[in-house]
Amino acid sequence: MIRKIFIILSLLVIVLFCIMFSISIGVMQIPFREVLKVLFTSEESIHRIIVFDLRLPRTLVATLVGICLSLSGCILQGVMRNTLASPSTIGVTSGASFVGYVTLVVFPDLYYLLAVGSIIGAFLTTMIIYSLAFSKGVSSVRMILSGLAVTALFSAFNDVIKIFFAERIVDAQSFMLGSLNGTTWEQFFMISPFAIIGIVICFFIPNKLNILMLGDEIAYSLGINVERFKLFLIILASLLSGVAVAVAGLISFVGLIIPHIARLLVGSDYKYLFPTAILLSTIFMTICDMIGRIIIMPAEMPVSVIISFIGAPFFLYLLRTREMTK
């Protein structure tokens, strides 16, 4: 237990460094000392404008997106009782982006509805996958294949929308590309209410989730209304992944990699898993975003590209090691 708390505290320190770096690095370098000065005094300067109008909202949005996706991954893995579940592997993010697109097309003037649309899309997709893949527990094969089919279907729909309504969705560049370029406070305020509600709820359910991990029958006999709790978890996971998709588009694999590394570090107890996942995803997202910003400077590589370069091989590695251990 002491080891786990030590790990969490160390991660917290790394998080602070990453956030500082993320604010400091870019086309215009701002030294650490300046960053601190800008954050903690009210002196007017060019640095202040860069930090407050560009870097800070972007870093915060990146952080929130990462946290939401990884918490959603942790929860989905619990509901499906399968560590290969995550918002992207089971097609939830693609469903969220599809309904997001539809919302943009139908209500082009109501930009903030995008978040609501994505959340609804995420929820519907999770329910579809859960019912398709479920029969006495979720089999990995059926879950991944259902996810694949659902993703293919929704991407096809998305392409149709992009072709027929190109002019209506032009404003939602980052949503389409999976990029955090040009993120402003507007996006932060669009997602933060949903994200914060979702994150706060996560701190109240670890005990119950731990018991759900003992299997439906045991959980039921310990007094949990299993069906209702699972539905609640699916809604929560959808809220979290939908909100992330609304600002960052199709960012794959964060929801898979982070819960896995967190499990390796602190084990499967949700009391430790959630905080670890939150910290790890903050570190991971800010680093990926920084790489994207500097790798082809002055141009930018969308953060989703960087994450996929790291995430896809990791996913294949997981599939392989799981086969081996069976």
User: Is 181 a binder of another protein (CB under 8 A)?
Assistant: no
Instruction: Give the Å distances, CA to CA, from 126 to 93, 178, 239.
Output: 9, 21, 11
DSSP states along 64-104: HHHHHHHHHHHHHHHHHT-TT--TTTTTHHHHHHHHHHHHH
Distance in angstroms (rounded) separating the CA atoms of residues 117 and 139:
29
Mark residues 150-169: x for contact with another protein by CB under 8 A, - for none.
Answer: --------------------
In this chain, which of 54, 132, 213, 319 binds another protein, going by CB under 8 A?
A: 213
Q: Are 147 and 126 in contact (CB under 8 A)?
A: no
User: Is 215 a binder of another protein (CB under 8 A)?
Assistant: yes
User: Is 321 a binder of another protein (CB under 8 A)?
Assistant: no
In this chain, which of 41, 173, 184, 225 binds another protein, going by CB under 8 A?
A: 225
Assigned token pair, 108: 């082009």
Residue with smaller CB distance to another protein, 192 or 268: 268
Assigned token pair, 214: 């003992």
At closest approach, how far in Å is the CB of 239 from another protein?
A: 23
At closest approach, how far in Å is the CB of 143 from another protein?
A: 17
At closest approach, how far in Å is the CB of 3 from another protein?
A: 12
- The footprint of another protein on residues 268-287 (CB under 8 A) is 268-269
- Helix 185-202 to helix 226-248 angle (10° resolution) is 160
- Residues in the site for another protein, rule: CB under 8 A? 207, 210-211, 213-218, 220-226, 267-269
